[in-house]
Amino acid sequence: MSSNVNIKLNKNIILAVTGGIAAYKSAVLVRRLKDYGFNVRVVMTKGAQAFITPLTFQALSSNPVHTTLLDPEAEAGMGHIELARWADLILVAPASCDVIAKFAQGLADDLLTTLYLATKAPVWIAPAMNQQMWAAKATQRNLKTLTEDGMHIIIPDAGEQACGDIGRGRMPEPEALAEQVFEYFKTQERAYTQQFGLLAGKKVTITAGPTREAIDPVRYISNHSTGKMGFALASVCYAAGADVTLIAGPVTLNTPYGVTRKNIVSAQQMLDESMYMLNQGCDIFIATAAVADYRVAEIAPHKIKKTGDTLDIALIKNPDIVATIAQQEKRPFMVGFAAETQNIEQYANGKLISKKLDMIACNDVSRTDIGFGADENAMTVFFAKKYDFDQRQLEKASKLKIGEQLVEAIVDALNTKS
Ligand code: PMT
């Protein structure tokens, strides 16, 4: 399952509240919209103020609430035209029968109806009313007009109503409304980055996290990788327009939004999935995983018993995933990582050459503030000789920021005619 939690969209939403009992849900809606990182300003009609006070919305949105068209003081703050331009989307929730009729008629006798005519932003309405009023011919005729005018109508839910009736007319829950708004902007942004992003049209495969090599049914060999670096890179590559697959060892992180995830346990499984992705078509392969170099020669079928003071376990070498992919005829652009504790330049360059990589990003894993498990990293990036690039120093920053700089380095190398 993808997580939206870490995605913040810097978009401006006007939430317009009209008169109806569902106005109480709009208070929660402000919170949910803000959870997604939206900037929210609230516009209230006179009818809405009979159900809930502007003060509630002011506190929740952290912005002044707009209630009138003809108040010189309010207009001096952010006038209706400015407000209409500020909005990336106007969401009217709840939208009463009355405001729907006014919109359909093109009336402009208060702030909200004026805003509707003055804005270029998409306008969505979430009608909420008694089921008979929803079904009324005039309401349906007005909604048809508004749909033809390009307005997005969110169909109300059916169920028990505040007035005791049962039928369609309930405003959808705030969580569902906020998610629809979020998905709308994400889809829009995706369409843009898929065309204009730094990695538009590229297929990227990323390995991340540790591998586990079983000793017996209860024990294994592994390492301290948490997957944070690889997951951050996956998120950055997706935001840059790439089609991203993350081959993840056992970690506890949520899948970054938009990224396809394949879970594996052992190095052999990571190699199998990597080869599969290569055959599916892969333009860039990034190996952030800390792969166990050795595995147990023979996994014990039962728990090994404590019989002596020492225990010898024979290990055999695991396949080198990144080197195997780099050897293939149709090889992608290959990015390796190097976890070192000393002689960073010498060891990283050695791996760059021996594994036939295009680029290698090296971090000092003897430090506790970066590398394994940390939220930040610092890296030195080396390029294969054919690119004729100097090494790059990426100063300590969040793994997301480091990921962005790595993507820039990849794009620079891809754009060089080598
Ligand atoms: O996951 P985090 O907690 O966020 O920590 C991030 C990290 C420290 C794991 C990451 O930044 C990192 O350094 N990853 C590489 C770890 C590593 O195994 O480095 P290495 O120097 O042993 O391997 C060199 C390269 O070969 C790596 O790209 C590795 O993925 C690859 N390799 C290694 C062995 C193997 N059998 N197959 C491989 O593909």
Number of the ligand 1 atom closest to the C-alpha atom of 227: 1
- State the catalytic residues: 163
Closest C-alpha among 188, 116, 124 to residue 154:
124
**Mean per-residue pLDDT for 67-80?**
82
Cβ-contact 272, 229 below 8 angstroms: no
Q: Is the pLDDT of residue 185 over 60?
A: yes
Q: Which helix (DSSP H) or strand (DSSP E) does residue 378 occupy?
A: strand 376-383
Ligand 1 centroid distance, CA of 345 (Å)? 16
Q: Encoding tokens for residue 77?
A: 């703050």
The answer to whether the beta carbons of residues 294 and 315 sit under 8 Å apart is yes
Kindly state the helix (H) or strand (E) to which residue 127 belongs, with its residue range. strand 123-127
Matching CATH topology for 3-186 and 197-415?
yes
pLDDT digits (tens, 9 = 90+) for 110-125: 999 999 999 999 999 9
Q: How far apart are CA 84 and CA 193, in angstroms?
A: 26
pLDDT digits (tens, 9 = 90+) for 130-141: 999 999 999 999
Is 322 near ligand 1, meaning CB less than 6 Å away? yes
Q: How far is the CA of 340 from the centre of ligand 1 (A)?
A: 10
Any binding-site annotation on 51?
no
Q: Is 10 exposed, middle or buried (0-12, 13-18, 19+ CB in 10 A)?
A: exposed
The string of pLDDT tens digits covering residues 285-306 is 999 999 999 999 999 999 999 9
CB 304 within 8 A of CB 314: no
pLDDT at 8: 60
Joined tokens for residue 333: 């652009």
- Report which of 53, 64, 74, 69 is spatially closest to residue 14, judged by C-alpha positions: 64
- Looking at domain 197-415, which of 3.40.50.10300, 3.20.20.60, 3.40.50.720, 3.40.47.10 is its CATH number? 3.40.50.10300
Which amino acid is located at 392 in the chain? R
What CATH class does 3-186 carry? alpha beta
Q: Among 74-83, 91-100, 141-150, 393-402, where is mean pLDDT lowest?
A: 74-83
Q: What is the pLDDT of residue 72?
A: 78
CA separation for the pair 164, 292 (Å, rounded): 64
Dump strand ranges (E) for 266-347: 284-287, 294-296, 315-317, 333-340
Ligand 1 close to Cβ of residue 318 (< 6 A): yes
Q: Which two tokens stand for residue 307?
A: 């019989």
Ligand 1 centre and the CA of 210: distance in Å?
8
Query: 379 CB under 6 A from ligand 1?
Result: no
Ranges of each domain in the chain: 3-186, 197-415
- Cβ–ligand 1 distance for 210 under 6 Å, the answer no
Closest ligand 1 atom to 288 CA: 14
Ligand 1: centre distance to CA 201 (Å): 26
